[in-house]
C-alpha cells in the first residue's frame, strides 16, 4: 500500500497531525532560542496573507468541483466498460467520482475554516499572545500546503484519466 493511499483514508487527520508536529517543533526551536518569533506586524500581516490565500484557493477548488459536476451531468451510464468514450466518462460512473468530490468538498471546508479562524484570531488576539498567533501561523501554513497538495494530487489523477 502506498503512502498516498494511507493519507487519503483520512487526510484531514493527517493534515492536522503533521501541522501540529511542525508547530510544536517550531515552539521547541523558539524555546531553545534557535529561531526568534517575528515582530507583531509581520505575524499579523502573514495571518492575513494565509487567510486570503485560503479563500482564493477555495475558489480554485470550487471551480474544479464545478467542472467535474458539469462533466458528470453530461455523461451517461453504459452497459459495458468498452462502450465508454473515455476513461473519464467511466470515472464518473464509479465510486472514485464520489470519493473525489468528497475529498474536494473537505478541502473547501478546511480552507474556509482556516481563513475564518485566521481572521478571527487576528482580530481578537491581544499583543501579549502574539507568540501563540505565530504558532497558529505555522500550523495554518502547513494545513494550507497539505490541502493544496491533496487537491493537486486529485487533479493530477483526474487529468491522467482524461488522457487515457
pLDDT (tens digit per residue) in 52-88: 999 999 999 999 899 888 888 777 777 666 666 677 7
Cell (9 digits) for 51: 487567510
In the chain, DSSP finds a helix count (H) and a strand count (E) of 6, 0
pLDDT tens-digit readout, 98-119? 899 999 999 999 999 999 999 9
In degrees, rounded to 5, the angle at the alpha carbon of residue 93 between the alpha carbons of residues 92 and 97 is 50
**CA dihedral angle for residue 136, residue 108, residue 2, residue 97, rounded to 10 degrees:** 170
Amino acid at each position: 500500500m502506498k503512502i498516498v493511499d494511507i493519507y487519503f483514508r483520512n487526510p484531514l487527520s493527517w493534515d492536522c497531525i503533521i501541522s501540529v508536529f511542525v508547530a510544536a517543533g517550531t515552539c521547541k526551536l523558539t524555546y531553545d532560542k534557535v529561531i526568534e518569533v517575528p515582530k507583531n506586524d509581520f505575524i499579523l500581516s502573514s495571518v492575513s496573507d494565509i487567510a486570503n490565500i485560503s479563500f482564493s484557493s477555495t475558489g480554485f477548488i470550487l471551480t474544479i468541483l464545478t467542472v467535474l459536476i458539469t462533466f458528470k451531468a453530461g455523461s451517461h451510464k453504459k452497459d459495458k466498460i468498452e462502450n465508454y468514450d473515455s476513461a473519464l466518462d467511466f470515472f464518473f460512473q464509479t465510486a472514485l467520482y464520489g470519493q473525489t468530490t468528497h475529498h474536494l468538498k473537505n478541502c473547501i471546508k478546511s480552507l474556509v475554516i482556516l481563513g475564518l479562524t485566521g481572521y478571527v484570531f487576528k482580530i481578537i488576539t491581544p499583543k501579549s499572545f502574539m507568540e501563540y498567533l505565530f504558532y497558529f501561523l505555522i500550523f495554518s501554513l502547513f494545513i494550507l500546503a497539505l490541502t493544496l497538495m491533496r487537491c493537486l494530487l486529485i487533479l493530477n489523477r483526474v487529468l491522467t484519466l482524461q488522457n487515457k
